[in-house]
Structure 1
């Protein structure tokens, strides 16, 4: 878990440095565009001279001439202000300067400078001569240097970037870290006298063809010969065509017999080499089809890949790096981002309001992961400048990324950000999503469809208060506590049908679009967001509930990794691991089980309070999101219980036969589960297997068992956690939910007086011990000072993850242990190290007893079962005195938390146990 963070630490506390470059390193040395690559190129990443221009005097002072010594250094392509750039953010305007030498071997070609992305207005000079300028922060642009070159001789390249904040620019979520200046690879390349501006491939798996369209930078003045090679086709394909004079683009349909299809399981890529005279470009494509079709046996439209429906299970990928912001430190890191998603069973990501780095898209293509691609948003109003910026960037991102088979949809707008106009209503000014803007949004949908007919397009990924216009996907956002998902999904499912105006703006209505969630989770589902908290409990309830509403064709969890203001990622911001605790609930269980194609759900409830000795009816649903013919299946179940003194046993087991069919969505026979008549907890473990015994899915249902029956030959003397007689703590002491748990932070102790009843036969006991559930206890920021309710979470406030009143940081790779001693009547009986202050699925009683009021009080927190032997001499003295004095002390500053029977993971109070 995260360490205790002093309130003064805001940004710097978050992450330790994980990437170091020397002055001679070239970061990101790989070609930035494996989807559009020429052999003759020169990477200009690395150390550049740099100067800030806070007063904007550089132009009037002639800085573009290259004769000024810039006093700073910057590591390109990291945005200034990011740690990897080596510079603090000191101004809105920055100047770059570097000597370049173009090889003499390029003399018979045309040489261009390409910048992958630079935010926002960029001017480039070579030896004081202006090459050109560009406005926009996300897409590549090039300038020709040929006429100014002195081959084999050093020349001065100067770049000025103006990143003043403008309301109409597509700023996105740069509150997480500004993409200031150059933030993608800058390079030189040699092109032919006649050259290709773009090469797009439109695959058609139904016709077994691939249509290649070659684009020229301008209309040709003469016939041009184009050679197309697909060397890894079987057999290899070679085709020569002539682009006639007067054309600026030309298409040719190439037969692809027995085409090897691109899929998530087998992401095969065809290489394509396009040669126009002396210009040769290498690209690739995947033979795949994106469409919409019904789930077999239903009228429910689903997104389909290669004519097979896919239940989309995606993560919102804010695509930020703690040290590089928009820019990742290495190609390996980008590859691992895709591998992470696949490793937990996701089939896609939504790259959120950022035009993604091409090499990361390449790894999605190469490894087989679907991508929803967002157009970044502005934060102003949808005026003429904003609309022009949006249209330009949409065109350019589709042109650049057309060949990536991983991209299956374009999302034009998100949550109506930048689409509301301030208007006067009565005596007030309000922001409204005007009908004129809605019509423009619909036109942007049609623009995207005209530019790319091969993918789905979404007009607006909607959140509360706005609806769709024209769209291929009927998506919606919802952030809810776990218990609210059943009602919410039922409402959406009931209102999803062709002709419905639910979630659509006036004048628009649903057609046969797939209905999917496109953002979900608990992060914004609680008052003021959750902060850093165990999400696994609410996540489990949410997954269980989604799988019993098959009309909803998938979901998208927020999010892939933590970012500045949202700490609910599958991974930390530095990509270290979090621990869900699922493997302790069912052996081998992981997030993959919650994303499995075959899923056994118990419904929204995953923990029930039940009477001991009763027979509980557990609902079961099967959700098969696969067409695989697996034959009959078996659901194996076992009930394991832990009683009120921490003893575990297996109570009940059985097997349920399931007559499985592909795409099966059914409620199964309820399980009747007999509970033992003893207080404690129960875990009904569910394991779905095929005929060969292969495990397909794991799940569980938990029970809090209430009973007044006492264990045989056992006496238990218990006390509530908050019934201590003395305490003293160096930092702070407090309790949770009226004493279900007590916390002491720093160094200190809790002392209890356990009253020994007269009928306790201490002399006859064969075993006696003290029993506690204890953990270390950090003092989080929220425990130190009053929470600042004015913090702007949405734009990325740099606050400690534990400053939110709902926060209780989730178990991760960083442990915060505490050394505790336990004394009885002044004699030290044990010193133990409590490994951590954890919070995850194992703290199910802490979740189960949360009031349903959209606040979280240390949800998911739990401790470790500690047994302390007590000898008969002490027991006899205690019986004589009528009490046993027990002190639990933190000897270092690690603190201690003491859990009661309704909190943590064990239904135990602090107790003295005597067995006869």
Structure 2
């Protein structure tokens, strides 16, 4: 009986894994560097809380050719025909963008919305192929074209793509429909309970990607991790390691890699669908916050040239220090949600990223923690160009179903999608596998598995997770068993907000049982912008200011393993959990900038501390 049960669970897991893996193996990266047609703009929509367009009245999934299925074009040939769905004005919505911020009817909506638009395709070469690429859809997407299903994807913050069969493409009037469902479930990533707004919709760019018959799907280029970076700098000799993944097998075919500024042009022969290589280089200016140098790199294969700006650097730990290019660094960080509070919407554009990083630079920060999910690619590109180091995280948040193997597989898929898209971003120095997960052997095994997978996929970055602190009047000991597997020990600490008093920091003592760098991945206090009182009045800007002053005094007394902090958070953001009618009103108020864009008093306290830390480094 036990054998049969195990076989059943294995089959269930296999089906679940396949269901969530349609787009993973062939995820196309660097969309901006390819031949594309944007499908951004105005789409039509149908709100479908009962999922009538997906299920029939017996709650069975509709057949593909069912005229009442919402993926099929409504067709009224005669006046007697019965049609119960349609896509037309004024039911229009902008893509990219969340639905919650676009119309009042969507403000608190969680459920299914059908998106629809038509598109034409240009004249194409007989050998060219077309892929439909989504930057992100929250959370579950079913994609249909001309009445046929292309595939399904789960995960609200990672990219995916499907090939469009040529037989399905029409020169004009292709009928594209996407079923988007942002409902929360216990066995998903993230799970039911989160402290941020569950924005639904097609939240990032949509593109047709036109490729050759065989093409470069993705690639990686980085400094060799085994070389001693100080020796390489002294001798002016660097080893660059690379890999190129093709969409299909090639035989005795040449791939060319060029870095013109470094006078590099190398040909590599590929037999199969992947090639790994090394290049010796001189005169490399390494990427750093002080010198965010990027080189234009081109990859040439099968008559197609893909370009991307890539920086070279080495991030590592040595004992209880973090080293960038062989030199100890201090992370002057700040946490960020992917949100524009002034407009109560999900951030998605280059303009959004530029505005956010302008505030980061004003703060004198050199690092951001992108919480609690992978952010859009414009954020990483801005960080690369500005010299801001990045922590990127998958939404394994709070009480995930750690004993469920299928949930672990979903987390691994999101981890793989995050790493695949962003592994060429020099600014990205830390992969995080989760936030504030409660300690238990089951949880630790779950998280350890993710850390192992992250290191298999990318050995050029640090791996961590945001841990909680068990406070004690005598000494705050950080001994979470997960810390033995992470490269740095990262903890979320709110002494004086969720317990105790800001003055308690004066007598606080800290002990870390691991000889690793200690990073405070969160700390903060709430304040409603514009509300002023004495410093002991909670929710006032003066209380938040005082909290930061006491925290900084404590940080200045930290032992030498203290390597930085990323307070919570740059901007106020929406949260259904924050319901005080006077001070919160559906907002998490821990931002240093309020929902109107005004800097609170605490902003300037942290700004001053970071300026001092930057000057002390020099």
* TM-score tier after normalising by the smaller chain length: 0.7 to 0.9
Aligned to 2:441, which of 435, 443, 464? 435
Secondary structure class of the residue paired with 1:69: coil
Equivalence for 1:795: none
Q: Partner of 2:302 in structure 1?
A: 277
Output one character per residue of 1:337-372: Cα deviation in whole Å (capped at 9) or x when no partner: 112112221111111111111111110011110111
**1:117 paired residue number:** 136
Aligned-pair CA distance for 1:89? 4.9
Q: Alpha-carbon deviation of 1:401?
A: 0.9
Partner of 2:197: 177
Shift of residue 447, structure 1, vs aligned partner: 1.4
**Partners of 2:266 and 2:362 in 1: how far apart?**
40
- SS across alignment from 1:479: coil
Deviation at 1:88, TM superposition (A): 4.3
* Contact kept? 1:170, 1:389, Cα under 8 Å: yes
**Taking structure 1 as reference, are residues 211 and 597 closer, same or farther at Cα in structure 2, changes over 3 Å only?**
farther
- The 1:543–1:110 alpha-carbon spacing in structure 2 relative to 1, beyond 3 Å, is same
1:250 aligned onto 2:272: no
1:271–1:284 contact (8 Å) kept in structure 2: yes
Which residue does 2:456 correspond to in 1?
450
The offset of 1:146, in angstroms, is: 4.1
Q: Give distance in 2, aligned partners of 1:521 and 1:88.
A: 28
Contact map agreement 1:104 1:151 (CA 8 A) in 2: no
The verdict on how the C-alpha distance between 1:517 and 1:147 changes in structure 2, with shifts beyond 3 A counting, is same
Match of 1:386? Answer: 407
Q: Which structure 2 residues correspond to residues 866-885 of structure 1 after superposition, within 5 A?
A: none
| Displacement after TM superposition at 1:529 (Å) | 11
Establish whether residue 306 from structure 1 lines up as the match of residue 325 from structure 2. Answer: yes
**3-state secondary structure, aligned to 2:99:** coil
Q: Normalized against structure 2, the TM-score is what?
A: 0.78
Within the alignment, does 1:69 sit opposite 2:86 as a pair? yes
Q: Partners in 2 of 1:517 and 1:90 — Cα distance?
A: 35
Match of 1:539 in 2: 548
What CA distance in whole angstroms lies between the structure 1 residues aligned with 2:203 and 2:136?
A: 6
Per the TM alignment, residue 406 of structure 1 is displaced from its structure 2 partner at its CA by 1.0
1:215 to 223, 245, 257: 245
1:373 offset after TM fit, Å?
1.0
Query: Alpha-carbon deviations, 1:747-790, whole Å to 9, x = none?
Result: xxxxxxxxxxxxxxxxxxxxxxxxxxxxxxxxxxxxxxxxxxxx
Give the aligned partner of residue 266 of structure 1.
Answer: 291
1:257 CA displacement: 0.5
1:48-87 to structure 2, matched below 5 A, reads 48-59=43-54, 60=62, 61-67=68-74, 68-71=85-88, 72-83=91-102, 87=106
Instruction: Say if 2:564 is the partner of 1:554.
Output: yes
**Cα deviation digits, residues 682-707 of structure 1 (max 9, x gap):** xxxxxxxxxxxxxxxxxxxxxxxxxx
1:554-593 aligned within 5 A: 554-564=564-574, 565-579=587-601, 591-593=606-608
For residue 308 of structure 2, give the secondary structure of its aligned residue in structure 1.
strand
More helix by share: 2
Change (3 A) 1:222 1:290: same
Q: Report matched runs for 1:601-750 at 5 Å.
A: 625-626=616-617, 628=618
Aligned residue in 2 for 1:237: 264
Question: Per-residue CA shift, 1:478-527, capped at 9, x if unaligned?
Answer: 11233122322xx21xx33xxx3xxxxxxxxx2x3101211112349xxx
Q: For residue 828 of structure 1, what is the aligned residue in structure 2? A: none
Report the Cα distance in structure 2 between the residues aligned to 1:41 and 1:395, rounded to whole angstroms: 24
User: What SS does the aligned partner of 2:175 have?
Assistant: strand
State whether structure 2 residue 215 is matched by structure 1 residue 195: yes
1:293 and 1:307 in contact (8 A); partners too:
no
SS at 2:49 equivalent: coil
1:74·1:87 contact (CA, 8 Å) conserved in 2?
A: no
Tell me the residue number matched to 2:82.
none
CA distance in structure 2 between the partners assigned to 1:403 and 1:252 by the alignment: 16
Q: Which residue of 2 aligns with 1:812?
A: none
Partners of 2:281 and 2:179 in 1: how far apart? 47
Matched position secondary structure for 2:176:
strand
The separation in 2 between residues aligned to 1:85 and 1:76, in whole angstroms, is 17
Would the alpha carbon gap of residues 315 and 161 (structure 1) be closer, same or farther in structure 2, given more than 3 Å must change?
same
State the secondary structure of the residue aligned to 2:588. Answer: coil
**Partner of 2:78 in structure 1?**
none
SS for the counterpart of 2:453 is helix
Which blocks of at least 5 consecutive residues in structure 2 are unaligned? 1-27, 55-61, 63-67, 75-84, 472-478, 497-501, 528-535, 575-586
SS in 2 for 1:454: coil
Is the CA contact (8 Å cut-off) linking 1:375 and 1:393 kept in structure 2? yes
TM-score w.r.t. structure 1 length? 0.53
Once residues 371 and 188 of structure 1 are traced to their aligned partners in structure 2, the CA distance between those partners, rounded to angstroms, is: 29
Q: Is the 8 A contact 2:506 2:553 kept in 1?
A: no
Distance 1:92 1:374 in 2: 25
Aligned to 2:531: none
- Contact 1:74/1:86 (<8 A) preserved: no
Q: 2:610 maps to what in 1?
A: 595
Cross-structure match for 2:42 = 47
Unpaired runs of 5+ in structure 1? 1-32, 295-300, 421-432, 501-509, 583-589, 600-623, 629-916
Distance 2:573 2:537 in 1: 13
2:44 and 2:392 map into 1 onto residues whose CA distance is 34
Q: Deviations over 1:97-117 (max 9, x none)?
A: 111111114554111110111
Q: Secondary structure at the match of 1:199?
A: strand
Tell me the number of residue pairs that the alignment of Structure 1 and Structure 2 aligns: 518
Asked if 1:141 corresponds to 2:149, the answer is no
User: Does the residue aligned with 2:410 lie in a helix, a strand or coil?
Assistant: helix
Aligned-partner SS, 2:240: strand
Contact 1:80 1:86 in 2 (8 A): no
Say which one has the larger Rg.
1
1:34 positional shift = 9.0
The Cα shift of 1:596 comes to 2.6
> CA 1:91–1:148 in structure 2 vs 1: closer, same or farther (change >3 Å)?
farther
| 1:228 paired residue among 225, 247, 257 | 257
Q: 1:717-771 CA distances to partner (integer Å, 9 max, x unpaired)?
A: xxxxxxxxxxxxxxxxxxxxxxxxxxxxxxxxxxxxxxxxxxxxxxxxxxxxxxx
Check if 1:474 corresponds to 2:495. no
Indicate how the Cα distance of structure 1 residues 283 and 529 shifts in structure 2: closer, same or farther if over 3 A, else same.
farther
1:214–1:251: 8 Å Cα contact kept in structure 2?
yes
Which residue number in structure 2 is paired with residue 165 of structure 1?
184
